[in-house]
Amino acid sequence: MERRRLAKKFFLLAGAVSVLVLCVYLAWSHHTQSIENGRRALAEARVLSAEIGAAWDYIDAVQPQINRATGETSGVYCAVAAKDIAKRFSAGSAYSIRYIRESPRNTEDAPDSFERKALAVFEEGVVEEYYGLEHQGDSSVFRYVGLLEVEEGCLPCHGDPAGEEDVTGYAKEGMTEGDVAGAVSIVMPMDSIIADAKADLASTVVFFCVLMGSVTLILALGLRTWITAPIVDENKKLRHEAEDQSNFLTIITHELKTPLSSILAFTELWKERVPDDSPESRVLVNEVETNARVLLAMIDNVLDAAKLEAGTLSLAQDEFDVYDLASQVRATMGPLAKKKGVSLKVTVRPDTPLLLGDEEVLRRIVVNLVNNALRFTESGGWVELRLAYREGRFVVCVRDNGCGIPAEQLDHVFDRFVSAPHSETTSEGGTGLGLSIVCNFSAMMGGDVSVKSAEGKGSCFTVELPLPAIPDEIEDIEGIDGGESLLSESSVDSLSFREGGNHESS
């Protein structure tokens, strides 16, 4: 499956690259073909112009012999012969060749707009040929106009004196040698040239596609044999190893919970049997209980992290009482707070209803927040847990007056295996997973977690979860420690961090 997915991605990428390269190639080929078509047409037009010019020159060269053989008024002249040859050639092909001039002696020699532009350019003496592409109806044609200059053989009919009748019966123009006598105009159809270019381009595209397909297949086989297959096999091996490690960790931590639970149970029995007049024994049993609970919390965090990473954790939807949740947290965290000499105060807003959700996940969220606060609060300080329900959201607020968090560390407090900079000075160790688990659990339940802190003044962590309330079951019960109100009636701003505060020892 993994290999097929990688192969599919590779071929999609190769196809996209091939299409992109083909589009660029087609655009460039169209540009170069247009230029090449123009060059081909220009070369052909020059050849035709040279051939007609050669006929003109030949008649002009043998004009004396023709005149002697047929008489002075034979009517065979270079211009007449060249025009007749051009007319015969044009009649038998799709080409059009004719001679034009500004003041023609024959209306057939009158120039059109394109040819007038060419004659105007020739008069300026800049170039000797003028050409370009034009559209005539649905077809494209190549227009070529070549300069014809007055030569010595032209003067008897077109030279001085101006106005005198020449041998053909037309008035002379008074031209001199080198003047613009007119031009040869050639119109060439481009359809055949363009069709040939398209055929060449189509065959090139087919060859390109076959070539790219062959190269892609060769690369795919090479990548699969030498790169993809080893990587996939190595990934499978690593995944199996990771799963084995995760399963091993889960099993070990789960098995460790059983003896720890027994230790805590026996600790309770031991506390009941310790005489009141034996303070040393009570201190020992409290130490055992406190450290067992700390170890149990660390194991729970490792288990939670493993389940989150494996994606096997699912949320339950059970009815639970927030007061019971508060009591459980108080019973779990109370011994640790007492051992550190920190005041732990737990408050539940009186109008908090029965809720629907995963009580164990909520307990893990609250325990981790309280445990984190206790870790970074020195002896003589205070930690406060407040629970409330307002506007469809269950709100957990944990405040302390501990060491606080530097501003530059706030963006990373919920990262895995990240602990506060003062953690190495605290008496209680940690895995660096607690706040990460809080963040992940909150996200799973559709809520969010935030923190406000000032270094040296304490921190305030707030979790808001959209949990549904059980209707018509709101119990008006005084909260723990006097049932102090958590939230103001106007807003939840009372959850923001406040400096200082008087707290009763609990």
- Tell me how far apart the alpha carbons of residues 118 and 99 are, in angstroms, rounded to a whole number: 13
How sure is the predictor about 74, in pLDDT bands with cuts at 50, 70 and 90?
low
Is the pLDDT at 435 greater than 80? The verdict is yes
> Is the pLDDT assigned to residue 358 strictly greater than 50?
yes
pLDDT for the residue numbered 326: 94
pTM for the model: 0.46
Q: Give me the half-sphere count of Cα atoms (radius 13 Å) on the Cβ side of residue 231.
A: 10
For 227-342, list the strands marked E by DSSP. Answer: 318-320
How far apart CA 140 and CA 38 sit, in angstroms, is 11
pLDDT band at 3 (very low <50, low <70, confident <90, very high): low
Q: Are the beta carbons of 59 and 245 closer than 8 angstroms?
A: no
pLDDT-derived band at 5, boundaries 50, 70, 90? confident
Q: From residue 163, give the alpha-carbon distance in Å to each of 72, 73, 155, 172, 179.
A: 21, 20, 13, 5, 17
Mean pLDDT in residue range 43-62: 84
Residue type (1 letter), 142: F
- pLDDT at residue 379 above 50? yes
Whether 364 and 300 have beta carbons less than 8 Å apart is answered as yes
Question: Is pLDDT at 485 greater than 70 in this prediction?
Answer: no
- What pLDDT score does 487 carry? 35
The residue count of the chain comes to 506
pLDDT tens-digit profile of 438-465? 998 899 889 999 999 988 889 999 999 9
Structure tokens at 354: 């029965």
Tokens 């939807």 correspond to 317
Of 108-117, 195-204, 237-246, 252-261, highest mean pLDDT: 108-117
Cβ–Cβ < 8 Å for 389, 362: no
Written as six digits, the tokens of 295 are 């170890």
Percent of residues, the chain, with pLDDT higher than 90: 19
CA-to-CA distance for 271 and 328, rounded, in angstroms? 19
What's the rounded Cα separation, in Å, for the pair 367 and 354? 20
What is the rounded average pLDDT of the residues 264-291? 75
pLDDT at 484 over 60: no
Query: Does residue 280 surpass a pLDDT of 90?
Result: no
What single letter denotes the amino acid at residue 501? G
Q: Are 449 and 322 in contact (CB under 8 A)?
A: no
Q: Is 272 exposed, middle or buried (0-12, 13-18, 19+ CB in 10 A)?
A: exposed
pLDDT band (50, 70, 90) for residue 252: low
Tokens of 242: 């990771």
Q: What is the pLDDT of residue 495?
A: 34
At residue 192, what are phi and psi to the nearest 5 degrees? Answer: -65, -40
Neighbour tally for 436: CB within 10 Å: 21
Look at residue 346 and tell me whether its pLDDT is greater than 90.
Answer: yes
CATH number 3.30.565.10 given to 317-495: yes
394: which DSSP letter? Answer: E
Query: Given this model, what pLDDT does residue 81 score?
Result: 79
pLDDT digit string, tens, across residues 151-195: 777 777 777 888 788 777 778 778 888 888 889 999 988 888 888
How far apart, in whole angstroms, are the C-alpha atoms of residue 179 and residue 197? 40
Confidence of residue 475 (pLDDT cuts 50, 70, 90): very low
Would you tell me how many other CB atoms lie within 10 Å of the CB of residue 273?
8
Instruction: Return the half-sphere exposure (C-beta side, CA atoms, 13 A cut-off) of residue 89.
Output: 18
pLDDT at 253 over 70: no
* The residue type at 63: Q
Most confident of 270-279, 334-343, 477-486: 334-343
- In terms of Cβ atoms closer than 10 Å to its own Cβ (0-12, 13-18, 19+), residue 184 is buried
pLDDT band at residue 473 under the 50/70/90 scheme: very low
- Listing from the earlier edge strand, what are the strands of the sheet with 96-100? 96-100, 180-189, 139-149, 129-136
Instruction: Write down the pLDDT at residue 488.
Output: 33
Rounded to an integer, what distance in angstroms lies between the CA atom of residue 234 and that of residue 449? 38
Domain range list for the chain: 2-189, 317-495
pLDDT tens digits for range 286-341: 778 777 777 777 777 777 776 666 666 678 888 999 999 999 999 888 888 988 89
pLDDT tens, position by position, 98-138? 888 888 877 788 899 999 999 999 888 888 899 988 888 78
Predicted local distance difference test score (pLDDT) of residue 169: 75
For residue 498, pLDDT over 60 is answered with no
The rounded distance, in Å, linking the Cα atoms of 267 and 506 is 21
Q: Are 130 and 122 in contact (CB under 8 A)?
A: yes
Q: Which of 268-272, 478-482, 496-500 has the lowest mean pLDDT?
A: 496-500
As a three-state string, the secondary structure of 93-148 is CCCEEEEECCCCCCHHHCCCHHHHHHHHHHHHCCCCEEEEEEEECCEEEEEEEEEE
Q: Report the alpha-carbon distance of residue 438 to residue 365 in Å, rounded.
A: 5
398-419 confidence digits (pLDDT tens): 999 999 998 888 888 888 766 5
pLDDT at position 418 is: 62
pLDDT at 90: 84
Q: Is pLDDT at 87 greater than 90 in this prediction?
A: no
Gap between the Cα atoms of 349 and 478, Å rounded: 8
Whether residue 372 contacts residue 414, with contact meaning beta carbons closer than 8 Å, is answered with no
For the beta carbon of residue 483, count every other beta carbon within 10 angstroms. 15
Asked if the peptide bond before residue 161 counts as cis, ω within 30 degrees of 0, the response is: yes
